[in-house]
Amino acid sequence: MLEPGAAARILRRPAAKVCLGILIAVAAAAAVGPELFPESYREPGPRQYASPSWQHPFGTDLNGRDVLYRVLLGARISLVVGLAGAAVSLFLGTTYGLVAGYAGGKVDNAMMRLVDIMYSVPRLIFILIFINAFDGHVREFAARLDWQWLVSYSRIVILIITLGLIEWLTMARIVRGQVLALKERSFIHAARVLGQSHLKIITRHLLPNILPLIIVYLTLTVPAVILDESFLSFLGLGIQPPQASWGSLLAEGAQSINPLKIYWWLLFFPAATMSATLLALNYLGDRLRDTLDPRR
């Protein structure tokens, strides 16, 4: 488990405090910011491609919508996809790695060969197949049950599941390696001699000892999922209009570039917000890893 003074050591450096402040500010702005904008900022208006001003700090886009509102709306979707996709990866990778490492032998060998096979599948092809195969069925299923929220957000749900199914492979390998080392320790042998069940040994002895490592890798998985989602949305394979994510906003900004005029704010502000968030997440993940590393 985490030591009592771990948080203080993580935030000892000023850069860590700045990164934490960035994450809190972006998360708070994404959660409540879009609701504070007037209706005129959300809908298309007459001021197309207006440069940044006091009225529109991030300018406006092709349809006259406020870019700041769109960036905060994109932050909401990108953060939700990143956190939920990392949670799926955490559950699958931890469970798979625990079972493979604890079982050992032929079971471990067969399970890890499956991981190797999945590593060999191109990620983009896997995502395309998954989206094309299930998007229509999910919408149809949600329409039958009159789940309008799922009809509207079916693409987001599929992206979360798909990215989680991709990112869990490395988590499984890391957890499995730690379990292989821990299960030969004396306290595990003592638990077996005392007649404890396999489930109790896994949940009460193995899992708590690898929990710090799992937390560290989780903090590094969230920015990876956000980056994957932004890349897919930039290519038009992820979030679809009228919804927005940082990747789709960058795609819209790239389409607005022409030899006569460069509307720089359409690219700069979404890219700056995404870069600052990813940098903060990665730096705090590195600080957490350095703090919880027993060799240090």
What DSSP line would sit under 192-261, residue for residue?
A: HHTT--HHHHIIIIIHHHHHHHHHHHHHHHHHHHHHHHHHHHHTTSSS-TTS--HHHHHHHHHHT--SS-
The pLDDT, as a whole number, for residue 141 is 80
Distance CA 138, CA 75 (A): 25
* Residues 37 and 46 sit within 8 Å (Cβ to Cβ): no
Furthest-apart CA atoms within the chain: distance in Å: 78
Task: Give the tens place of pLDDT for each residue, 107-146.
Answer: 989 999 998 888 888 887 888 888 878 877 788 888 887 7
Percent of the chain with pLDDT over 70: 95
Count how many Cα atoms sit within 13 Å of the Cα of residue 9 in the half-sphere of its side chain.
14
Q: Which domains does the chain have, with CATH numbers?
A: 6-292 (1.10.3720.10)
The more confident residue out of 112 and 147 is: 112
Note the pLDDT tens digit of each residue in 215-240.
Answer: 888 888 888 899 888 888 888 888 87
Q: How confident is the model at residue 151 (pLDDT cuts 50, 70, 90)?
A: confident
Q: How many helices (H) and strands (E) does the chain have?
A: 13, 0
The pLDDT value recorded for residue 165 is 86
Cα 7 from Cα 96, distance rounded (Å): 29
pLDDT tens-digit readout, 76-111: 999 999 999 999 999 999 999 999 998 888 898 999
Query: What is the spatial distance between Cα 252 and Cα 230, in angstroms, rounded to a whole number?
Result: 12
**Is residue 265 helix, strand or coil?**
helix
Q: What is the mean pLDDT of residues 49-55?
A: 86
Within a 10 A sphere around the Cβ of 60, how many other Cβ atoms? 28
Q: What does the pLDDT read at residue 279?
A: 92
Mean model confidence pLDDT for the chain: 84
Q: Which residues contact 117 (CB under 8 A, 6 or more apart)?
A: none
For residues 293 and 214, the model is more confident at: 214
The whole-angstrom separation of Cα 152 and Cα 69 is 20
Say yes or no to pLDDT of 278 above 60: yes
Binning pLDDT at 50, 70 and 90, where does residue 272 land?
very high
As a whole-number percent, the residues of the chain with pLDDT over 90 amount to 17
Supply the pLDDT for residue 6: 61
Whether this model's pTM surpasses 0.75: yes
Residue 60: φ, ψ to 5°: -125, 165
Half-sphere exposure of 253 (CA within 13 A, CB side): 25
